[in-house]
């Protein structure tokens, strides 16, 4: 259930989806479903509202991420009384700073930490043409934590070595912060990236398989420049499509990116290191091929649906 419409709802699903913030409609959904457990993502304030609407089952609070570590601490600290009163369990996808906050703030509530699930049979490499020039890509929102500035600077530096380099930026323009968007176009002007950067908004998820496969075949890669991340879906999607990933050492990414094994990592803010690793990905064909294959099998083994289902069912039984 979502409280309001968002562009992601364009993607087809084979399960019921509800869109409402109306109390009467929500109560109808709760009564009709007769749910034993509700998993709430981030919005702990809904616990008291659902109780008021007559729900008597268990709550599991799932935290995928809040952005910065400071925001995560602030939000979870503010939520302590409500979470302690209503949550039967806490869940996160092995994000180190969230796991640490769970232990510190909620020692008496059961914690569960396991990878998100990913369908690597469906979302996987597609046969595509091989571009003649490298393509690098970025996925995110126009906000500070997603660090779009660093992507532009890295791309600008790489363009000296690869004059035909193409830069794709996948975003949801409805979620961008207006001031950040204004600054984005200013940086594009400053770095003279007109004609090199292409913004793509709200691409249907099923089409991303072809984009990531094409980027992989071009000799390019996905760059995740986030300052702090939980468990970004775009990184898993790229790896499953054999598109290499270069990522900052941003906490939750460590579950998927093992340096020079399943991808490449660099220290956030170290542009020269990022450029060195990027050039190695493009020129070192043996390492690139190894990373592409190892990344796919890592996703298949560690993020598979069967493994997730077992962890999830074990969590339900334990509470």
Q: If you write DSSP's letter for every residue of 156-173 in order, what string do you get?
A: HHHHTT-TT-EEEEEE-G
pLDDT of residue 103: 97
Q: Output the six-digit token pair for 187.
A: 């940086």
CA 56 to chain CA centroid, nearest Å: 32
Beta bridge partners of 41: 62
pLDDT of residue 209: 96
Q: Output the six-digit token pair for 228.
A: 């702090």
* Global pTM value: 0.89
pLDDT of residue 1: 94
Cβ within 8 Å of residue 136, ≥6 positions away: 154, 155, 158, 165, 166, 167, 168, 215, 220, 221, 222, 223, 278
Instruction: Tell me the three state secondary structure of residue 126.
Output: coil
Cβ contact 36:88 at 8 Å? no
pLDDT of residue 13: 79
Cβ within 8 Å of residue 316, ≥6 positions away: 37
pLDDT of residue 222: 98
pLDDT of residue 182: 93
Instruction: Tell me the three state secondary structure of residue 149.
Output: helix
The list of the chain residues with pLDDT below 50 reads none
**The residue to which tokens 């001031």 are assigned:** 179
pLDDT of residue 177: 84
pLDDT of residue 255: 83
d(CA 140, CA 226): 9
Cβ contact 253:227 at 8 Å? no
d(CA 108, CA 121): 38
């Amino acid at each position: 259930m979502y409280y309001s419409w968002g562009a992601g709802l364009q993607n087809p699903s084979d399960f019921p989806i509800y869109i409402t913030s109306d109390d009467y409609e929500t109560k109808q959904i709760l009564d009709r479903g007769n749910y034993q457990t509700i998993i709430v993502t981030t919005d702990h304030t809904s616990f008291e509202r659902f109780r008021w609407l007559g729900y008597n089952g268990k709550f599991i609070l799932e935290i995928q991420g809040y952005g910065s570590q400071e925001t995560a601490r602030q939000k979870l600290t503010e939520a302590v009384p409500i979470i302690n009163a209503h949550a039967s369990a806490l869940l996160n996808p092995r994000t180190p700073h969230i796991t640490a906050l769970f232990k510190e703030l909620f020692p008496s509530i059961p914690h569960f930490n396991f990878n998100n699930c990913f369908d690597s049979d469906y979302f996987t490499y597609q046969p595509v043409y091989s571009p003649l020039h490298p393509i690098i890509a970025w996925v995110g929102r126009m906000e500070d934590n997603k660090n779009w500035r660093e992507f532009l600077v890295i791309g600008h530096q790489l363009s000296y070595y690869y004059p035909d380099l193409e830069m794709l930026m996948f975003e949801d323009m409805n979620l961008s912060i207006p001031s950040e968007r204004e600054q984005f176009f200013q940086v594009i002007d400053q770095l003279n990236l007109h004609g090199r950067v292409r913004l793509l908004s709200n691409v249907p998820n099923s089409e991303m398989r072809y984009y990531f496969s094409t980027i992989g075949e071009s000799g390019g890669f996905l760059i995740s420049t986030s300052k702090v991340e939980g468990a970004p879906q775009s990184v898993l999607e790229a790896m499953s499509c054999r598109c290499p990933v270069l990522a900052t050492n941003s906490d939750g990414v460590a579950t998927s990116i093992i340096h020079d094994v399943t991808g490449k990592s660099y220290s956030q803010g170290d542009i020269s290191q990022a450029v060195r690793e990027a050039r190695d990905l493009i020129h070192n064909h043996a390492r690139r091929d190894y990373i592409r294959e190892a990344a796919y099998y890592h996703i298949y083994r560690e993020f598979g649906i069967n493994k997730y289902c077992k962890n999830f069912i074990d969590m339900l039984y334990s509470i």
